[in-house]
Amino acid sequence: MFLGITNTPRDYAWGSRTAIPELLGRTVTGQPQAELWLGAHPGSPSVVVNPAMVGGADTLADWIREEPDAALGGGAEGLPFLLKVLAAAAPLSLQAHPTPEQARDGFAREEAAGIPVDAGERNYKDPYPKPELVVALSERFEALSGFRPVDEALADIVRIDGGTGRTAPLADRLRDQGLEETVRWLVTADDDARSLVRVLGELATAVEDPTPNTATVVDLAASYPDDPGVAVALLVHRVSLARGEALYLPAGNIHAYLEGLGIELMAPSDNVLRGGLTPKHVDVPELLHVLDFTPGPPPLLTPEPVAPGVDRFAPAGVGFALVRVSSAGATAGLGAGGVVPLGGPSIAICTEGAVTLVGARSATMLRRGESCYVTPDEGTVTVETDAAGGGAATVFIATPA
């Protein structure tokens, strides 16, 4: 079955006012629209377009709960992913996610302590990890992701300092004590650390030949003048994704989305350890416990080419994959050549043009901005586009790996 689903975008303050409504073909209201959730997460379960198809269930979560065998297939316990359209016009919080073991232990610990799940100081809302990936839909998608080599960070600190010596406390600590102790000092945010953040923001505006990271300090300091996350951003890769490029954010990866429109696929967990650029709770000891301080290159995710026009983003061990099917990648349009095997219950969203999805039992058409839930009895989905029509078409399909 192909079941049409939709949802109301989440109105977080950092969201773009135009990107999601323009993608979906909806009216621009002037209010921020940050995330469109497609899945069964209780925080915002997808709405069923035609409830009569599923016995009157209004949401995807309702139908899965009422008829799990029909919705998920025999033996499945739930939908193992949450698909989002994310549109950032301002930075999200600097954050990291736990490993499976950290999530289980943290959830059990906070349950035993009697901390309400909806409490502001609660770190672990569930016992699950939250690996995620994002594919850029906009021409540029800007992010911070992963600690970079100390020498690179030191070079930018020296550039900002400009010979004044005012950033020496940061440079000396980083050089002598390394990333972990430097981050510990910054996020503890004593008076010296806060003063340093203000100095960085002031000096960075005078850099004549800015690098991506020094420019990030200028941008962040304008909105968060005393936030330690401004300084931490110097220690993290500034990543600019072109349209179609992707990032994978494993457990322990420090990251923050800064600006852009993307398709995000993640485990359906709410476990976030924040480290700055937010007024929300920051649990410094738990953040330091979760963070992976190993420096390395930005965690770019290269898709596996399945067929002309068909690419699969599938990090190892996460339990889900995102397949992109695009007529632009095929030499003569997809015709009936875009075949996507399903690993179980799946969700598709069309982000460009129009496509026809053909399964073993039924078929449906999706136009730009439309989405559907695909039951596992369809087996595979063949994506067809009208090559003779000349219009480009793209659909993303999230499926269990």
Q: Which residues are the active-site residues?
A: 274
- In degrees, rounded to 5, the angle at the alpha carbon of residue 78 between the alpha carbons of residues 75 and 83 is 135
- In degrees, rounded to 5, the angle at the alpha carbon of residue 304 between the alpha carbons of residues 298 and 307 is 150
Q: Please return the burial class of 49, using the count of CB atoms within 10 Å of its CB with bins 0-12, 13-18 and 19+.
A: middle
Q: Are 189 and 196 in contact (CB under 8 A)?
A: no
Q: Are 81 and 101 in contact (CB under 8 A)?
A: no
CB atoms within 10 A of CB 32: 20
Amino acid, single-letter form, for residue 357: L
Instruction: Please state, in angstroms and rounded to a whole number, the distance separating the CA atoms of residues 162 and 127.
Output: 47
Which tokens go with 400?
Answer: 């269990």
Instruction: Please state, in angstroms and rounded to a whole number, the distance separating the CA atoms of residues 72 and 60.
Output: 11
In 19-139, where do the E strands start and end? Answer: 35-38, 47-48, 82-88, 94-96, 132-136
